[in-house]
Every structure is written in C-alpha cells, then in structure tokens.
Amino acid sequence: MTAQTGWKQEPDDQSERLYSLTLALVQTEVGLTKDEIFMSIRGYRLDLERAGGFHGDLVALNKKFDRDKEKLRELGVQIVPAANSSEGDSDYRYRISREIFEWPEGTTISSKQLQLLELAASLWDRAALSPEATNAITRLRAIADIGDASISQGIAPRISTVEPSFSPLKKAIEERVQVSFSYRRADGQEAIRTVEPWQLAHINGLWMLLGLDVERGAPRNFLLKRIHSKVGRSKQVITEPTPEQIANAKSELAEVFKANVAKIQVRPGTTAAMHFETHNLPKGEVELNYYDLALLAEELLEFGQSVRVISPPELKELIRKTLEQVISNHA
Amino acid sequence: MPKLKFSLPGDERYNTLMSIVALLQREDEMHIDDLAEHFEVSRESMRSMLATLNTTSFMPRNAEEQLPFYIDLDRIDDEDGMVCLELDNGPQGVPTITASQSVALLSGLRYLKSMPDFEESDDVDELITLLRGYQPVVAGIEIEPTKFDSDLSILKKAILTDKRIECLYVNSKGEESRRSIDPLLLISSEDHWYLRGYCLKNKEVRTFRLDHMVDAEIVDIPRSEDALSAAKKLDETAPIYSPSSSDVEVELELQPEAYQLAGLVGAVREPSKVGEETIRVTIKLGYLPDLGPLVCRYGTNARVIAPEAAKEVVRKFALQALNDDTSWGDLD
C-alpha cells in the first residue's frame, strides 16, 4: 500500500466524542453524573467552556448529549443508570455495562471465516443493510486472525432493496409498531392496509412483508413493490410474533405457489428456452408454479413471442390485455 | 484485493477505533501496513485513527485527566512501522454486535449456505452458531434460499482453478453460439446470476446471463494472460451494466412495481418524482432492442417517454408477441 492523493484529515467528529464517552463510562465503577461527563470528555468540555460554565446556557450541550446517548444506543452500546441511581435524582449517574464487551469465552474467527463474513456482508452492498453489515464486520475484525485478505471466492452475491418501503418497515419491525400503507393488489385494486409487521422475507427474488392484517385478523403477505404510499406508523406497540407464526405464514405461501400451475410452450433456440430449460424437450412445453398470475405474467412478458401460454386461460387473457396496454402506452 | 477506504463514516470510525484497540491488546504489536490491510483502510487513514487514539482522553471521577492509550507514532513514521499500545488503561475488547448487525450477517451467511459448494461448509455453520446468539427470536429480515443455476457450481470451480470454460449461449439478439470464456467473476443481481468473463471470440470482458447459458464445461486450458490482466482491473462492486458514451439515453416513467428496472440497468442520474409514487428515470442502453423485453416485463408499470425510437422498439416487441399465435404449429 502506498500513499495516495485525495486523503483528508478526519474532522474531530461525533465518532471520537462517542469513543471517549464509551471509555469513560465503561471505566467508571460508580458512574458519572452529567456534570462530570461534561467536564471529563473533551468534546463536551469545550462547549461547556464556550457556554460560560454550568451557569451558562446549556440547552445545546444537553441536546448534544441526548443525541450521543441515542447514537450509542443505535450502535448497541446502552448507557444505563449506575447502581443506586435513578432518573430524576439530582446526582443521577450514568455508566455502560461491561457486559456488552463480553463475547463467548475464547471466541475467535479464522481469516478464512472472516472472508466468508465479508462475502456474506457484500450481499448488502448498495442495499439497505449495508451499514449494519459493514459495522458488524469491523467489530468482528477485532477477534479475527490476521491473514491474507486477497483470496477471491469468485462470486459476488448481491441483493437489492429498491423499494422505498424497505427501511421504514425494517424500523417498524425492530421497534414493534403497527404500520399502514396503500397496497395495490395483483388485480389493480388499491386500499389502505393496517399491518402488524413480522418479517421482511426475500423469496424467489421478491421482498415480501409477512405480518398480521389487522382488519382481517389473519396473517397476510405483502409484496413490497406493490406498496404505493409512504409507510405510516402508529404508536400501537405489537406483540412479537412466534417462530411458528412465521413458519406457518411461509408454509401457506409455499402451498399457494405449489397449487398454482401454468403450462407454457417455449420456442427452441431462444433465450426463453435457456431460461425455462426447455432446450432438450421435444415440444418445448413446461409447467410453472406461481404465486399470482400478475407475477407469472411479468416473467413471461419479458420473453415476448418466444413463449405462449397453454393454460390457464386467465393468464393468456392477462398477457393479451397487458400487451395491448403496452402498445397503446407507446403509440 | 478489496478497495481501501480513505475516509470512514462516523459509525464505522467509532467501531474501527474500538476494534483497533481490542486487536492491539490481543496481538501486542503489529505493523501499520498489516493493521491497515486488516481493516481495509489506507495507511494514512490508519495513521490518522492511531493519532486519534493518542489524543482521546477523559477524566475519571475525582481524578486527573488521563490518556488511556499511548502509541509511539515516531516509531511508526521513522523506525520499524510497528504499532503497539505503550500505555494501556482502556477497556478490554470490542462491543458485541447488535441484533440488526447480526440479522444482516446471518441473512447473508444463510444465503451463502444455500449455494452450491457452501452447503457443507463447517466454517459457515460455526459462524451462524456464533451470530445466532445476538439476533432476536424472530429475525426481522430473512433471505430464503433460491434456486441456483446448474452451471453456477461449474463456473465457480473454473474460476477457483484458473480454467477456461465452453458453453452454449444465446445473446439478447437471439443468436445461439458455442462460446469459449475465461471466467472472472460470478455476480448476482436482482433475480439473475451473471458471469463476467473474457470472451475469446470478442477479445474483451463481457457479461453473460447465466440463464441464457447451458452445458457449461471446464476445459483443461488455463485462463489467458489477457483474462488475468482484466481480472486485476475488475471492480467487484461495479454495476452489471456499465454505460458507455455511445449508449442511447432512454427516459422512462416507473410505478413502484417497476422500480426494479432502474436498479437492474442503473439510472444515469437521480430519479425525479412526477406523481405520488411515479418516478422518472433516465437509463443508458448499448443495444436499443434490449428495451423491448425490459419494459414489456413490467407491463403498464413502465412507460418509455423518450426518444421516439425507444417507444417504437417497445411497441414493436409487444405487437410481435401479441400477434404471434399463428406460427406455433411447427413445434407440435
């Protein structure tokens, strides 16, 4: 590695202040009061001096401290009250439990395992979970063996989260709050749905929200790409779903997929024949499973005149109508 | 070789500072270049973070201000480049990972485990066991195993053993041919896998869709020098479609059901909103007829705005598909 141009000195930023705050609160046995924290940490002390000491206007400084506490909480570092200290006390004392630094005894990661973790994290490159994956890897590097980091696995798996609803739904799931959004069903009907969100599942290349449809009182699956509004949040806190509820929702989905069968014919020597693996079949006919007609139509429309639907007739009709609309949209 | 970072976002910088200390406490001393490589940052960025550790200070309750760590920067700059904590009063270790960090890595590991050649990996199993302890009872995000192309395993083996492959390939013009390819990298994007490889026929690096390829087999010929030199320049994070200056710009309007199209091809500038949820994007295409299947797939949820030639391509593609029923008799 050689020096490269374009590098800039890092500013004295929040990360350094948070780092100092973490050290100070981990090392204290009895905890630190807010005043002691403001005097102990350089990032706060400078603001305190500028404000003219503890008798000055400390509104901005207090807000800064609150933001930092929230940021540390997001980073998984919880600031807790020290023993015998509770909210409202004039000498309320803060500390950070050492428990968050305690990995299972003897935990180490080989350099090969670190590469596998990097590969797993790379799945989220340019997608919504990229910061989480990168930050996890950074922490895991501390317990990883030093090794050759340049061996390629020859693959770069990636997943995308282009749906704007992904991040708000993820947050709602983490915070266990109810959501509502406008949802356009496969038949084009649009309605507001209120949902207790359970899980975002990536199934067959599609992001789906599994959750409890509040009005229907039953579990439902929602395709993220059919959400046609911002995701609204209510203050209604929901109960955590059980693994059985998630498993049942997925198994119902799998049953729908299995029960829906369409038959198509594929023209030989085309990309469609490769895609549907009909190149060795004499008639080029193949049966396909599907979640709903609109999704299957989407897959078939890409291949234009290289495929034709044999059954069901509703699929044939849907494709015909869609093609007519595409023609009219591009006239 | 992974790309080295010259500047880290705040969260990552915080975590890196923590991890550097934990690693130095474990390893006693390390060369700055090894340390920088381990954290995938430039030497300069690592030097900056080590300097930060030296200036980090706090005053414990009723005590003098203290420096928890001291790193001899002169030794790094002017002597043997070794880094160690001369003074070490800091906490031991690094924070464990959060639930959402664990979910991000576990979903990736489970995806890997469903891939050919990783199913039996003890390393992946061990990592899943380790990380599982940090995720909630029900993970908020899960990636279900997907169906992998049968050629994926063969191509991966060819890359790792430095061998050429041959296969039958149909390009987007519908031309079928036997290809010799020196494979470089397998990339998944949206719901497809792609091979980036040096095409012996075209004498350049090309991208091949795996579901347009069949009968891939490894031939006992090492990959060419041209392919290996191309491999060194390969950016693993580059989008599947890299626009060139000769490409045609196409403006499209997309409903949420078709946002994926912009992700697949890559918008050349920030999309703009034209309705509640409708966006307008500009993409670049090297071969305009590719637009037919691309737009038609999304039905009424994708619409070409300009140029006219692009609208005509889509209209023609849809017309051919609509009026094609007569020519299928020959197959029976």
A20 with B56: Cβ contact below 8 A: yes
pLDDT at residue B299 in the model: 94
- At which residue do the structure tokens 């085309």 appear? A270
Q: Which residues pair with B30 in a beta bridge?
A: B83
Q: A-chain residues within 8 Å CB-CB of B189?
A: 158, 160
Which runs of consecutive H residues, i.e. helices, occur in A59-194?
59-74, 111-122, 130-141, 166-175
pLDDT of residue B9: 74
The pLDDT assigned to A157 comes to 86
Query: E strand or H helix at B271, and its extent?
Result: none
Q: Give the best residue of B101, B194, B313 to mutate against chain A (max A CB count within 10 A).
A: B101
CB spacing of B276 vs A229 below 8 angstroms: yes
Contact (CB<8Å) A136/B12? no
CA-closest candidate to residue B8, choices A90, A315, A16: A16
Higher pLDDT, A183 or B66: A183
Helix (H) or strand (E) holding B221: strand B213-222
How far apart are the C-alpha atoms of A269 and B99, rounded to whole Å? 49
Of B58, B92, B263, the CB nearest to A101: B92
Residue B329 has pLDDT above 80, yes or no: no
- Report the mean per-residue pLDDT for chain B: 86
Q: Identify the band that residue B332 occupies on the pLDDT scale cut at 50, 70 and 90.
A: very low
Q: Which residue of chain B comes nearest to A5, CA vs CA?
A: B6
pLDDT at A9: 37
Residue A86, pLDDT > 90, answer: no
What confidence tier does B3 reach under pLDDT thresholds 50, 70, 90? Answer: low
Give pLDDT, residue B86. Answer: 83
ipTM of the complex: 0.85
The pLDDT of residue A5:
34
Residues comprising chain B, all counted:
332
pLDDT reading at A2 higher than 50 = no
**Nearest Cα to A137, choosing from B308, B297, B216, B2?**
B2
Q: What is the mean pLDDT of residues A81-95?
A: 76
User: Smallest Cα–Cα separation from A109: which of A149, A76, A153, A142?
Assistant: A142
Cα–Cα distances in Å, from A140 out to A22, A71, A148, B40? 18, 20, 16, 13
Per the DSSP assignment, residues forming a β-bridge with A253 are none
Q: Are A229 and B276 in contact (CB under 8 A)?
A: yes
The confidence score (pLDDT) of residue A151 equals 60
Does the CB of A234 have a partner CB in chain B at under 8 Å? no
Tokens, residue B277? 């949820």
Give the span between the Cα atoms of A199 and A221, in whole angstroms.
Answer: 10
Q: Over 70: is that where the pLDDT of B148 sits?
A: yes
- Give how far A236 is from chain B: nearest CA, Å: 18
> What is residue B234's three-state secondary structure?
coil
Q: Return the percentage of chain B with pLDDT > 70, whole number.
A: 89
Residue B302 in 3-state DSSP?
Answer: strand
Computed over every residue of chain A, the mean pLDDT equals: 88
Strand order in the sheet with A261-266: A285-289, A261-266, A307-311
Q: Which of A87, A69, A79, A31 is nearest to B61 (CA)?
A: A31
User: What type of residue sits at position A169?
Assistant: L
Residue B13's closest CA among B54, B45, B58, B56? B45
3-state secondary structure of B89: coil
A-interface mutation test, from B46, B175, B296, most A Cβ less than 10 A away? B296
Residue that the structure tokens 């397998």 belong to: B186
pLDDT band at A204 (very low <50, low <70, confident <90, very high): confident
Amino acid at position A53, single letter: G
In the numeric block, which tokens belong to residue B286? 């090297």
Q: Summarize the confidence of residues B269-297 as an average pLDDT.
A: 89
Q: Do B93 and A42 touch (CB under 8 A)?
A: no
Q: What DSSP letter does each residue of B174-220 carry, written as one string?
A: --EEEEEEEEEEEEEETTEEEEEEEETTTTEEEEEEGGGEEEEEEEE
Q: Which residue has the higher pLDDT, B9 or A330?
A: A330
Position B50 confidence tier, pLDDT thresholds 50, 70, 90: very high
Q: Kindly list the residues from chain A whose CB atom is less than 8 angstroms away from the CB atom of residue B130.
A: 104, 107, 109
One-letter amino acid at B231 equals: A
> B214: pLDDT confidence band, cut at 50, 70 and 90?
confident
Please list every residue in chain A whose beta carbon sits closer than 8 Å to the beta carbon of residue B8.
10
**Nearest alpha-carbon partner for B304 in B264, B261, B244:** B261
At A330, the pLDDT band (50, 70, 90 cuts) reads: very high
A146 with B56: Cβ contact below 8 A: no
**How confident is the model at residue A7, as a pLDDT?**
35
pLDDT for position A295: 94
The one-character DSSP state at A184 is E
In whole angstroms, give the CA distance from residue A139 to residue B22: 9
Q: In whole angstroms, what is the distance from residue B261 CA to residue B259 CA?
A: 5
Q: How far apart are CA A138 and CA A158, in angstroms?
A: 20
> Is the predicted pLDDT of residue A110 greater than 60, yes or no?
yes
B167-190 pLDDT per residue, tens: 999 887 788 889 999 999 998 876
Q: b/e per residue, B189-226, with b = 16+ CB within 10 A?
A: beebbbbbbbbbeeeebbebbbbbbbebeeeeeebeee
pLDDT band at A6 (very low <50, low <70, confident <90, very high): very low
Residue A261 and residue A288 in contact, taking contact as beta carbons nearer than 8 Å: yes
User: SS3 of A22, please?
Assistant: helix
Q: For residue A26, what pLDDT band results from cuts at 50, 70 and 90? A: confident
Q: Which two tokens stand for residue A36?
A: 């002691």
The 8-class DSSP code of residue B91 comes to: -
Are residues A146 and B98, on separate chains, in Cβ contact within 8 Å? no
A299-310: average pLDDT? 94
* Tokens describing residue B147: 């169906």
> How near does any CA of chain A get to the CA of B332, in Å?
6
Residue B292, min C-alpha distance to chain A (Å): 8
Confidence tier at B87 by pLDDT (50, 70, 90): confident
Residue B90 pLDDT grade (very low, low, confident, very high; cuts 50, 70, 90): low
- What is residue B1's predicted lDDT score, i.e. its pLDDT? 46
Q: Is the pLDDT score of A326 beyond 70?
A: yes
Nearest-by-Cβ selection for B159 from A146, A154, A331: A154
In 3D space, the residue among B191, B147, B301 whose CA is nearest the CA of residue A225 turns out to be B301
A45 token code pair:
């002390």
pLDDT given at position A88? 66
Predicted confidence band of residue B263 (pLDDT cuts 50, 70, 90) = confident
Q: Nearest-CA neighbor of B181 among B199, B207, B160?
A: B199
Candidates A7, A141, A15, A6; CA nearest to B44 is A7
Q: Does A213 contact B at CB distance below 8 Å? A: no
The reported pLDDT for the residue numbered A158 is 85
Quick one: which of A137, A148, A123, A276 has its CA closest to B118? A123
Once rounded to an integer, what is the mean pLDDT over residues B86-98? Answer: 77
Q: Which of A161-165, B38-42, B86-90, B229-233 has the lowest mean pLDDT?
A: B86-90
As a whole number, mean pLDDT of residues B208-218 equals 91
- Top pLDDT among B217 and B61 is at B217
Q: Which of B3, B37, B50, B96 is most worth mutating to test chain A (most A CB atoms within 10 A of its CB)?
A: B96
Q: Which residue has the tokens 């500038």?
A: B269
Whether residue A64 is predicted with pLDDT greater than 70 in this model: the reply is yes
Position A42 scores a pLDDT of: 82
Decide if A198 and B141 are in contact by the 8 Å CB cutoff.
Answer: no
* Closest-approach residue (CA) in chain A for B136: A174
Contacts of A135 in chain B (CB under 8 A): 11-12, 15, 101
Strands A155-156 and B176-189: parallel
Q: pLDDT: is A94 or B237 the higher one?
A: A94
